[in-house]
């Protein structure tokens, strides 16, 4: 079993839809959770960074962490064609630096 | 936000030659940088952790003599692929750590070994 599971998709939605992207994990020591967006042939771009359980909102993006279920989500409201990219979840333990563990990435296509 | 650059963005080389990739933090100092490798439609694979002024820490299965990492300053880390072979062709991405856990990534370098 992988430490972080993420459905690779692809996920295709119409413009304006609400998108839900998810990751599950097995390591209960993970404390810090991130979502990255990666366009084709580019480096990942940090979208959201959250600590422990709870919600965090930034514009059209909302990140949720449920540590009891070992489940994290990223919601994109009013999706746009420019949101078409691969979304990678990443997480790490607390207590000083630990390397990031990435999910496989979910490919999202938002069509006009 | 923190900006990380990489150079070159694309490189093609002959088998047996060495290639150096630079990773720079442009507007901040990074004591720790990371080097990843990414295959098409796959996630990032951490190769090594680069700490300024000390030897890099390589992940299991990564040949340290083949992938030489130098982090000589707080804004520059380099990855040298020595005696490159076609199987080394890949997308190499660096990142720099900001704070305890956030990482900001460079735009990547596409290496093609003929």
> Which is it for strands B10-13 and B109-113: parallel, antiparallel or unpaired?
parallel
As a whole number, mean pLDDT of residues A14-37 equals 96
pLDDT of A36 above 80: yes
Q: Is A36 on the interface with B (CB under 8 A)?
A: yes
Residue-level pLDDT at B19: 97
Residue-level pLDDT at A96: 66
The residue with greater pLDDT, B2 or A91, is A91
Q: Are A100 and B103 inside 8 Å of each other by CB?
A: yes
> Which is it for strands B57-58 and B4-7: parallel, antiparallel or unpaired?
unpaired
Residue-level pLDDT at B87: 95
Residues in chain A with CB shorter than 8 Å from the CB of B105 are 36, 43-46
Give percent above pLDDT 90 in chain A: 82
At A54, phi and psi to the nearest 5?
A: 130, -175
Q: What is the CA angle A2-B48-A100, rounded to 5?
A: 40
As a whole number, mean pLDDT of residues A19-37 equals 95
Residue-level pLDDT at A41: 86
Q: Are B100 and A97 inside 8 Å of each other by CB?
A: yes
Residue-level pLDDT at B56: 92
Residue-level pLDDT at A6: 94
Mean of all residue pLDDT scores within chain B: 93
- The DSSP code for B59 is P
Give percent above pLDDT 70 in chain A: 97
A56-75, pLDDT tens digit by residue? 999 999 999 999 999 999 99
Q: How many CB atoms lie within 10 A of CB A56?
A: 15
For residue B20, give both structure tokens.
Answer: 């150096």
Distance in angstroms (rounded) separating the CA atoms of residues B66 and B92: 14
Q: How would you classify residue A83: left for phi > 0, otherwise alpha for psi between -120 and 50, otherwise beta? A: alpha
Residue-level pLDDT at B38: 92
Q: Are A34 and B102 inside 8 Å of each other by CB?
A: yes
Q: Are B97 and A97 inside 8 Å of each other by CB?
A: yes
Tokens 């496989």 sit on residue? A104
Tell me the β-bridge partners of A49. A34
Q: How confident is the model at residue A94 (pLDDT cuts 50, 70, 90)?
A: confident
Q: Are A19 and A82 in contact (CB under 8 A)?
A: no
The parts of chain B modelled with pLDDT lower than 70 are 1
Distance (Å) of CA A42 to CA A77, B83, B91, B107: 23, 26, 9, 5
Residues in chain A with CB shorter than 8 Å from the CB of B32 are 97
Residue-level pLDDT at A97: 65
The alpha-carbon gap from A90 to the nearest alpha carbon of chain B, in Å, equals 10
Q: What is the CA angle B53-B88-B67, rounded to 5?
A: 15
The beta strands (E) that lie in B16-86 are given as: 19-25, 32-38, 44-51, 57-58, 67-73, 76-81
As a whole number, mean pLDDT of residues A1-30 equals 93
pLDDT of A91 above 90: yes
| CA diameter of chain B | 39
Residues in chain A with CB shorter than 8 Å from the CB of B106 are 43
């Amino acid at each position: 079993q992988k430490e972080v599971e993420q459905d690779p998709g692809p996920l295709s939605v119409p413009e304006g839809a609400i998108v839900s992207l998810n990751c599950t994990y097995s390591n209960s020591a993970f404390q810090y959770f991130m979502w990255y967006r990666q366009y084709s042939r580019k480096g990942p771009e940090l979208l959201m960074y959250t600590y422990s359980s709870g919600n965090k909102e930034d514009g059209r993006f909302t990140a949720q962490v449920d540590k009891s279920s070992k489940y994290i989500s990223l919601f994109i409201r009013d999706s746009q064609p420019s949101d078409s990219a691969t979304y990678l979840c990443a997480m790490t333990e607390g207590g000083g630096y630990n390397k990031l563990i990435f999910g496989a990435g979910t490919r999202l296509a938002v069509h006009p | 936000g923190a900006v990380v650059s990489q150079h070159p963005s694309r490189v093609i080389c002959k088998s047996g030659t060495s290639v150096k990739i630079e990773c720079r933090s442009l507007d901040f100092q990074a004591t720790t940088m990371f080097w990843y490798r990414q295959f098409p439609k796959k996630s990032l694979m951490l190769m090594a952790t680069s700490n300024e002024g000390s030897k890099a820490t390589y992940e299991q299965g990564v040949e340290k003599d083949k992938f030489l990492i130098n982090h000589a300053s707080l804004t520059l880390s380099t990855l040298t692929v020595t005696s490159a072979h076609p199987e080394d062709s890949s997308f190499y991405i660096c990142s720099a750590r900001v704070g305890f856990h956030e990482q900001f990534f460079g735009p990547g370098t596409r290496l093609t070994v003929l």
